[in-house]
Amino acid sequence: YRSLHIGKWHIGRSAERHLPQAKGFDAYEIMEGKQISGTMHVSAQDGEKKVQGKWRPAYQADRIMSFIDQNLGNGQNVYINWWPIEPHAVPINKELFYIPPTFDRADFEADAGKKIKKIDLDTPRGKLLAELHAFDHEFGRVVEHLRQKGVFADSLVIVTSDNGGYQGALSPDRMVSGHKETLWEGGIRVPFAASWPQRFAPGTRSARPIVSSDLFPTIMGLIGAPRPREVDGEDMSGVLLANQGTRRPIYFQARRAAWRRNSDDRVSDSFALIDNCQKIIEDEGMQSMYDVCQDPAEASDLSTSKDKRFETLRATMRQRRLAASEYL
């Protein structure tokens, strides 16, 4: 496989070993910051450069299609990471969200039909929807390009997100609690869609939990490659192929608010563990348990019902927390 990373890169850039090329990518273009159109700054494997683009995702879509054409023409398979900043809370002109230059209001309303109310572009949520709709158009261009090249049916396409919604732009009818930067469902439950027409039955749904660190070993399992050693995550290819398989409980720890601390208790006061449908969360010193399959709003605390699973989950979370600690 010839591989490309394009978009965000929050794994580090202070040394060569942190860059995409050191992680195995043949090519990369890191694009971050406030340049959304016009002259944009790009960090690539061949150095720093400035490019002229219509809109950042439009430029990225063009680069992805070019990479596909170049490598398929040489008989190579391709793997692509597209990590866009859009839609995202990017402070441009003192606004949390912005209306992309490619956004077409008439096109949006035609696509939306009567399914949603008319959006207010003066609100953060309205701008977020405009941004999402415009990005969806660029993503659609790439998918259509795969169709035109005759490879879509045998292509694995995954769409997901790294965190839940921004508090200032959440849907008023959302059915989950919390938001980005929390360990409540609204902060960690995100959409996940995978398409591979030759191998996945269309319309298949699953409630089995999967986490982003599972993607690497899962993709290796799907293409028949050996499981990489010493990587986080588990091979969940059985879930995608036949809705079968389990994984050990998923452990979450809130990100650190400061770089240097001297104990886990001081760097984070929020922890969670999900075992299939059962979730235990510790937030500000209080522990509770929920069935997040039946109760994604986390409204009914089951820890008060003398459920033995609560004590089991507490013990497991404690073990995982110790294993992840820097202060053993």
pLDDT cut 90: percent of the chain above it = 55
Q: Residue 194: beta bridge partners? A: 158
pLDDT tens-digit profile of 177-222?
A: 999 889 999 999 999 999 999 999 889 999 888 999 999 999 999 9
pLDDT of residue 264: 53
Predicted pLDDT at 312: 93
* Partners of 253 in beta bridges: 271
pLDDT at residue 267, rounded to an integer: 53
Query: Is there a contact between 194 and 157 (Cβ–Cβ < 8 Å)?
Result: yes
Q: Are 254 and 266 in contact (CB under 8 A)?
A: no
Report pLDDT digits (tens) over 10-61: 888 888 899 999 999 999 999 877 777 788 889 998 888 898 888 999 999 9
pTM above 0.75, yes or no: yes
Residue 2 sits at φ, ψ, to 5 deg, of: -95, 135
Output the average pLDDT for the chain: 88
- pLDDT score of 115: 65
Give buried/exposed letters for 275-286 (b at 16+ CB in 10 A, else e): beebbbbbbeee
What band does 259 get if pLDDT is binned at 50, 70 and 90?
A: very low
> Residue 151 in contact with residue 144, Cβ under 8 Å?
no
Name, of 109-113, 143-147, 197-201, 262-266, the range with top average pLDDT. 143-147
| Least confident range of 81-95, 224-238, 304-318 | 81-95
